[in-house]
Amino acid sequence: MPKNRIQETIFTVMMVIVMVYGLVCYNIALETGGMKNFIFVAALSELPIMGLAAFILDTFIAGPIAKKKAMKLVNPKRDNPFMMVLAISVFSVLFMCPMMSFVATILFKGGFNAEMIATWLETTVKNFPMAFFYQLMIAGPFVRWIFGLIFSDKKVATEAEPQKEC
C-alpha cells in the first residue's frame, strides 16, 4: 500500500481510472440496453471529466473520511491488515458512489431540472451494487496488484549479489 504522498497520489489515479472506466461502461450499457463492443470506446470520452471529478472528490472528501471511519472500525495493531483495506474500500464506495452519481446526473442525465433529485437517487441505487462489488472483487485487487508490482519493496537479486543456497 502507499507509503508516502506521491505513492498515495499514484494509487488514487490508478484506482480512479479503473473504477471510473468500469462504472462509465456500466452506465452506458444501462442506457443502451446492454453491453456492446462500442461501449469500451465510448466510455473513453467520459473518462477525463469523470476521472477528474472522482480524483478531486476522493482526494479531498471521500478518501480522508473513509480512512477516518475505517480507523474507528478497525484496529491496525490488533486486526488483520486486510480488514483495513476492506474497511477503506467499503467506506470509499459508500461516499464516492452518491457523489459521482450526482456528477453524472448533472453532466449526463439532464442536469438541474425538476427531476434532478429523483434521477440522482435512481442513478445512485443502480450504481451502488456495481460499484461495491466491482471495487471489492475486481478494481481493488487489480489496482493493488499492479501497484505492488510497481512499488515492490522486494530487492531484486543481481549477479553482483551472492545467492544463498539452501
In a domain, 78, yes or no: yes
**Count of domains in the chain?**
1
Task: Look at the pTM and tell me if it is higher than 0.85.
Answer: yes
Any domain includes 166: no
Say if 164 falls within a structural domain.
Answer: no
Check residue 140 and give its pLDDT: 98
Question: Is 157 within the bounds of a domain?
Answer: no
Is residue 163 in a domain? Answer: no
Residue 20 lies in a domain: yes
Is residue 69 a part of any domain in this protein? yes
Over 90: is that where the pLDDT of 11 sits? yes
Q: Is the pLDDT of residue 57 over 90?
A: yes
> What is residue 156's predicted lDDT score, i.e. its pLDDT?
46
The residue range of the domain holding 62 is 5-149
pLDDT score at 152 = 85
User: What residues contact 149, with CB distance under 8 A and at least 6 apart?
Assistant: none
For residue 158, tell me if it sits in a domain: no
Side-chain-side CA neighbours of residue 161 (13 Å): 6
Quick one: pLDDT at residue 164?
52
* Structural contact between residues 143 and 14, judged by C-beta atoms closer than 8 angstroms: yes
pLDDT 10s digits, 79-107? 999 999 999 999 999 999 999 999 999 99
Q: Is the pLDDT of residue 34 over 70?
A: yes
